[in-house]
Amino acid sequence: FQKGGQALTVITLTNRDPNSTGGSRFTNAVGINYTKQTLVNSTNFIWAIFQQTVDADKKQYTALNAFAQITFSLIPETLKQSSLESYFMRQLMFGNSSTPGGLIEGIADYVRLKAGYVVSNWAKNDQGTLWDESYSVTARFLDYCNGLRNRFVAELNKKMRSGYSNNFLVELLGKTPEQLFVDYKAKYNSA
């Protein structure tokens, strides 16, 4: 990545088995250059969503390893959109061992939602009985919360650097996740 002419990160990608069926499919359908560009674009998009404008705000890596498993039933464009972007989106957010996995994945799906990578089987805004029952329900719920407070998801992500508490939502929005989910359901069930 470049910022003001200064290199921030070196990206090295290698197709470890270019002569295998899967390696050949990767080369022909996706390729190293597309993968690098996707990483750069996804990273910049995620930094914008999380409003991480300085290096101190960003999750630091010494290395990011991507391993692709090619699904032969996917057409190349679907392969590109469904695999690479969603993989990179999950790597750049905060969360530690105390953060519920469903919330981490829900935030990743929130980023996918904002990027326009919603798949047909995702929950709709009026679906779900718990705010964290599935990744797509959580993504939609987080989108609702972000509508209540601009920068909510970015602020939540920043708070998750050192741990997690359901009280984070109270601190940011004045209500528990469960209370907010009742409001969320009421909004979409009355629409």
Measured CA to CA, the distance from residue 88 to residue 103 in angstroms comes to: 17
Q: What is the mean pLDDT of residues 90-105?
A: 68
Measured CA to CA, the distance from residue 158 to residue 160 in angstroms comes to: 5
The tens digit of pLDDT for each residue in 143-180 reads: 999 999 999 999 998 888 888 898 999 999 999 999 99
Indicate whether 1 pLDDT > 50: no
Is the model's pTM score more than 0.85? no
Q: Which residues of 12-51 are buried (b: 16+ CB within 10 A; e: fewer)?
A: eeebeeeeeeeeebbeebbeeeebeebbeebbebbbebbe
SS (H, E, C) 115-179: HCCCCCCCCCCCCCCCCCCCHHHHHHHHHHHHHHCCCHHHHHHHHCCCCCCCHHHHHHHCCCHHH
Could you tell me the residue ranges of all domains in the chain? 1-92, 98-191
Measured CA to CA, the distance from residue 115 to residue 85 in angstroms comes to: 9
105 sits in which H/E element: helix 101-115
Residue 72: pLDDT band (50, 70, 90) is very low
Task: Write the burial class of residue 74 (CB in 10 Å: 0-12 exposed, 13-18 middle, 19+ buried).
Answer: middle
Q: Which of 94-98, 100-104, 125-129, 141-145 has the lowest mean pLDDT?
A: 94-98
